[in-house]
Amino acid sequence: MDWTGSLDFLQSTTVEVGELAFFLQEENNLEIVISGTNGVGDDYPKNNVMNYEFMQSPNVNGVNVSLFILLNNAPEETSWELINQAGDMVQAGGPYTNPNSVVSMPLEVSDLGCYEFIMYDAGGDGLCCGQGTGYYAVLGADSDPLFTGQSFGSIDRNEFAYGYVGQDEIASASGIKVYPNPLESGNTLFFSLGSISVVTAEVYTITGKLMGKADFGKLNPGNHSLDQLTDKLAKGIYILSLEYNGQKHIEKVGIQ
């Protein structure tokens, strides 16, 4: 990309690069390189490369997500926010008042999507160890930690997905089935119902972008086409969400 502007010595600026599309791996590395300045090479290239390593966010589905905090001696420094993928704050807590106490509560993550949990410490030393020993954890299935934090400075940011990103097929009580999967481009994707059902369907990219939605109304048992949602999709991996009679079936679908 090209950027035009003028910066004084040691001055900085923010450059918007837009959305980056890539295949998410368990471990990822984003490399940012300044290839030239003023149309020529940089006289000091040693600081022209920056690498940012990040992990695949954990995924949870159909389970309660909760927060556990063991506060330190300065609870008034501790606060947090839960942000949805639209950038809206859906839940927040703190500052707190009781030193060395425990905070335990459910997080409000009922909607499909990506969430960011942000923990703040106004004192700049996290929950350990200048003001006593504390820590926090966001917990998923069987109270297993999705991530934890302790000595994080002023802010600690972690993301997780609820309901669809990277999820494998989730079995449904009615035996609903989606086939063929993967789907050859140009062919028809079907779903089968075991009983009369009121059905709506949504298709998302793996990054959470809604690509299409259809309201099928009441359908009889048997096979039904999803052509209206899939016939214009490019090759790739998508997340299909089928809602029927108050239940939800979520499945990763490949188009080849």
Q: Which pLDDT tens digit goes with each residue over 163-212?
A: 754 444 444 444 578 888 888 877 888 888 888 889 999 888 866 678 88
CATH 2.120.10 fits 59-162, yes or no: no
Query: Per residue in 16-27, pLDDT tens?
Result: 887 776 666 778
Q: What is the pTM of this model?
A: 0.54
Residue from 179, 135, 141 nearest 160 by CA: 141
Report the top-level CATH class of 177-255. Answer: mainly beta
pLDDT mean over 152-156: 93
Dihedral sign, Cα of residue 170, residue 175, residue 176, residue 180 = positive
Domain range annotation of the chain: 59-162, 177-255
Check pLDDT > 50 for residue 110: yes
What is the residue type of 246? Answer: G
- How far apart (Å, rounded) are the C-alpha atoms in residues 245 and 111? 17
